[in-house]
A and B are shown apart, each in its own frame.
Chain A
């Protein structure tokens, strides 16, 4: 397009800035991977940057053979699967109802959901509620309070609203029930948005830690994020200000491996799914 000298200079500067952004974004990942593969002595002397020094896999073996880590990792998988399934069921049902423009009381039903985006009960009333419902130390403390994300709900509602009305009307004339229409007409047409929502929920549940941290008291119920949090807290808490260096580097080594293993599933699917995420977010923004 423009071939002016000023614009060419700008293109050069822009390339430099964006390269900088890419490097700054990727550096922490590469550093933690390098640390996870390095010998602890090299980490301790501050020699590990992007390339592993004193390459070793023993830290991985050590962490994976730790029974608590394994239990917690399995917990994360179980929590993520169960929570995502329930959240998808709830969100799909409600989004479908909200997408029906003719429905009496629709504005009220939307209002109920949207209001919770701007005002919430707060940490303490939620804590009291979960405690008195007896959900502590159970999977349900993580699943139930997060069964619907209003943001996801609005994306899905917008998608359903975009489907051709005629298809559903035709099915209704043929005598199909609302449930039948949802299951056999609408859902098969909504694979794209369902995939996006499953990803949104799964990543959120995989990454979440606070509910578990708050409501689970036994370490064999923790998800891996809480396991990791406890490793980090062990090294940053005030109690360790004067802690011996030996202890801290061992933790640094193990922390790096735990982090890599926590990120791994997300990094594994990321290249394949990130465009779905992008579509989902823009869809919600344009129509929601």
Chain B
């Protein structure tokens, strides 16, 4: 029911002159909603369940964010009991822990962007230089592998490798150093987080760049060679510009994910001892909301985080459209 109404609402709000002329139906006369429904009702019927899914599991929670401004009682109304205005916003702005987790989020996000965004480009360029086909495919296949692991397994591997009897401490012992309890040291958390993130994502990240590399016209390289460009100059003037659109799109997506630093991984890897550097906004609001039942307070923090994320991705997209002419939409 509600989905059909959603479709109808769009007909009311949308000016028919706004719809762009689609080349595929240039000659077809513009249809009214009644005609469209009569002709394509079977297609629309296929969309009902998916629309219900989006309405309930994606848009309802967005509306549910109003409990950031209302007092929510567990067991009471889903949308809260009474308006309290910006009380919860003021609360987290005055909360020292919030500022700590905010800083941690920014630092982890920045480090992830700094290390995990450029590495796939470098690796793709290196793999691309391998002339031996089988070897090339082998390196690729191996580097994708960690991407298919559950985050739980990755966390498990990290803990194993860094444990007191793990390989890293074995090396330290051989070198004559004392073993380090990595998982309990706040000063190690960022290194552990970023390097395990790199381990898991770098290979998978090369896929799109390698695909983009194959689309670069060989004639460009030939022209560059005739102009006397060596290997380095060819890479600089042909290869890198060739993958720039891909890089920009991925950069925008990465910036969009900036605030949502690996919630699940932090949750799996941190513990109260490493909170000073490990606790991020999403883990803090998880503890506040789900563990301590401060639903409204946690929602206010979550909404703040989501809005920053949205702003980041919108501005990154805008800037890139203005400056390099590539954008997501």
Query: Which residues of A are at the interface with B, using a C-beta cutoff of 8 A?
Result: 2, 4, 6-7, 10-11, 14-15, 17-18, 21-22, 24-29, 31-32, 35, 43-46, 48-49, 90-91, 93-94, 96-97, 100-105, 107-109, 112-113, 116, 118-129, 132, 144-145, 147-148, 165, 177-179, 182, 203, 206-210, 214, 225-226, 228-229, 231-233, 235-238, 241, 245, 248-249, 252, 255-256, 259, 262-263, 266, 270-271, 274, 277-278, 281-282, 285-286
Convert B266-291 into 0s and 1s, putting 1 for each residue whose CB lies closer than 8 angstroms to a CB of A.
01110111000000001001100110
> In whole angstroms, how far apart are the Cα atoms of A109 and B51 in the complex?
8
Whose C-beta in chain B lies nearest to the C-beta of A94? B50
Are A128 and B64 in touch, CB under 8 angstroms? Answer: yes
Shortest Cβ distance from residue A69 to the other chain B in the assembled complex, whole angstroms: 14
- Chain A residues within 8 Å of B290, by CB: 123-124, 127, 214
- Chain B residues within 8 Å of A27, by CB: 167
Are B169 and A46 in touch, CB under 8 angstroms? Answer: yes
In chain B, positions 77-110 with a C-beta closer than 8 Å to chain A are: 78
Are B153 and A262 in touch, CB under 8 angstroms? Answer: yes
Are A122 and B25 in touch, CB under 8 angstroms? Answer: no
Among B33, B46, B138, B199, the residue within 8 A (CB) of A93 is B46
Known contacts: A118-B313, A122-B302. The answer to whether A100 contacts B170 by CB under 8 A is no
Q: 4 tightest A-B contacts by CB?
A: A121-B61, A125-B64, A207-B150, A122-B302
Among B126, B143, B269, B306, the residue within 8 A (CB) of A120 is B306
Whose C-beta in chain B lies nearest to the C-beta of A214? B290
Q: Indicate the size class of the contact surface on chain B.
A: 35 or more
B129 interface residue per 8 A CB criterion? yes
- Chain A residues within 8 Å of B217, by CB: none
Known contacts: A206-B150, A232-B159. The answer to whether A124 contacts B298 by CB under 8 A is yes
- Chain B residues within 8 Å of A256, by CB: 160
> In whole angstroms, how far apart are the Cα atoms of A254 and B219 in the complex?
57
Query: Which residues of B are at the interface with A, using a C-beta cutoff of 8 A?
Result: 7, 10-11, 14, 19, 22, 24-25, 28, 31, 33, 36, 40, 42-44, 46-47, 49-51, 53-54, 56-65, 67, 72, 78, 123, 126-127, 129-131, 138-139, 141-146, 148-153, 155-157, 159-161, 163-167, 169-170, 173, 183-184, 199, 203, 207-208, 211, 230-231, 246, 249, 256, 263-264, 267-269, 271-273, 282, 285-286, 289-290, 295, 298-299, 302-303, 305-306, 309-310, 313-314
Whose C-beta in chain B lies nearest to the C-beta of A161? B24
> In whole angstroms, how far apart are the Cα atoms of A88 and B254 in the complex?
27
Are A266 and B289 in touch, CB under 8 angstroms? Answer: no
> In whole angstroms, how far apart are the Cα atoms of A238 and B141 in the complex?
37
Whose C-beta in chain A lies nearest to the C-beta of B307? A119
- Chain A residues within 8 Å of B47, by CB: 93-94, 97, 109
Known contacts: A25-B143, A207-B150. The answer to whether A104 contacts B268 by CB under 8 A is no
Shortest Cβ distance from residue B258 to the other chain A in the assembled complex, whole angstroms: 12
Are A43 and B306 in touch, CB under 8 angstroms? Answer: no
- Chain A residues within 8 Å of B231, by CB: 2, 4, 6-7, 10
Are A112 and B54 in touch, CB under 8 angstroms? Answer: yes
Are B295 and A128 in touch, CB under 8 angstroms? Answer: yes
Among A26, A45, A122, A285, the residue within 8 A (CB) of B61 is A122
- Chain A residues within 8 Å of B50, by CB: 90-91, 93-94, 97, 148
- Chain B residues within 8 Å of A10, by CB: 129, 231
Known contacts: A14-B129, A17-B126, A122-B306. The answer to whether A26 contacts B53 by CB under 8 A is no
- Chain B residues within 8 Å of A128, by CB: 64, 67, 72, 78, 295
Among A97, A112, A281, the residue within 8 A (CB) of B207 is A281
Max chain B Cβ within 10 angstroms of own Cβ: one of A10, A11, A104: A104
Are A123 and B184 in touch, CB under 8 angstroms? Answer: no
Known contacts: A96-B46, A105-B36, A129-B61. The answer to whether A123 contacts B286 by CB under 8 A is yes
Shortest Cβ distance from residue A16 to the other chain B in the assembled complex, whole angstroms: 11
Whose C-beta in chain A lies nearest to the C-beta of B305? A122
> In whole angstroms, how far apart are the Cα atoms of A177 and B43 in the complex?
10
Are B170 and A49 in touch, CB under 8 angstroms? Answer: yes
In the complex, besides A105-B36, A123-B282, 18 extra interface pairs with C-beta distance below 8 angstroms are A14-B129, A46-B169, A46-B170, A97-B47, A104-B11, A105-B11, A119-B309, A122-B65, A122-B285, A122-B306, A123-B285, A124-B67, A126-B64, A127-B289, A128-B72, A129-B56, A129-B64, A228-B156
> In whole angstroms, how far apart are the Cα atoms of A193 and B303 in the complex?
36
Known contacts: A120-B62, A122-B302, A207-B149. The answer to whether A108 contacts B14 by CB under 8 A is yes
- Chain A residues within 8 Å of B299, by CB: 122, 124-125
Are A129 and B60 in touch, CB under 8 angstroms? Answer: yes
Known contacts: A32-B157, A49-B167, A229-B152. The answer to whether A103 contacts B43 by CB under 8 A is yes
